[in-house]
Amino acid sequence: MRRGALVKRVALNGAGLLVALFAAFPVYWMIATSLKPNREIFSATPGRCRPTRRWSTTGRSLPGI
């Protein structure tokens, strides 16, 4: 009985984490992208997020801006 309750709790919290991941990931991705230099945004492999302080200047160097 106690083991069953534990399994249930783990399952419920796991489901909660999955829902939170699904809902918040695009928002996280948006913020992460805003901190990347252009080179990394358009590269084929999403690198680790190394925050740049140059986004204000790289924004102006985008094609068409």
Partner 1 sequence: MTTLTKASETSAARENPARRRRRVDRLPYLLLLPCLVVICVLLLWPLGQVVAMSFFRLNNVRQLRGDREWPWVGFDNYAEILGDPFFLTVLRNTVLFAVANVALTMILGTLVGLLLNRLGKRMATFVASCVMLAWATPALTGTIVWKWMFDDTSGLVTWLFNALPDGLSNALFGRADWTGYGWFNSPLLFFSILTLVVVWHSFPFIAVSVLAGLKSVPSELHEAARVDGAGPWKVFWKITFPLLRPVFGILVVLSTIWDFKVFTQQFVLAGGTQDRLTFMLSIYSYAEAFSPPPKYGLGAAIAVVLTLILLLVTGVYVRMVLKQEEES
Least distance in angstroms from the C-beta of 54 to partner 1: 19
The yes or no reply on residue 26 touching partner 1 (CB under 8 A) is yes
Is residue 55 classed exposed, middle or buried when 0-12, 13-18 and 19+ CB atoms within 10 A define those classes?
middle
The yes or no reply on residue 41 touching partner 1 (CB under 8 A) is yes
Residue from 6, 10, 12, 35 that binds partner 1 (CB under 8 A)? Answer: 12
Cα 12 off chain centre by: 23
Phi and psi torsions of 6, nearest 5°: -65, -45
Residues lying near partner 1 in the complex (CB under 8 A) are found at 12-13, 15-17, 19-24, 26-27, 29-30, 33, 41-46
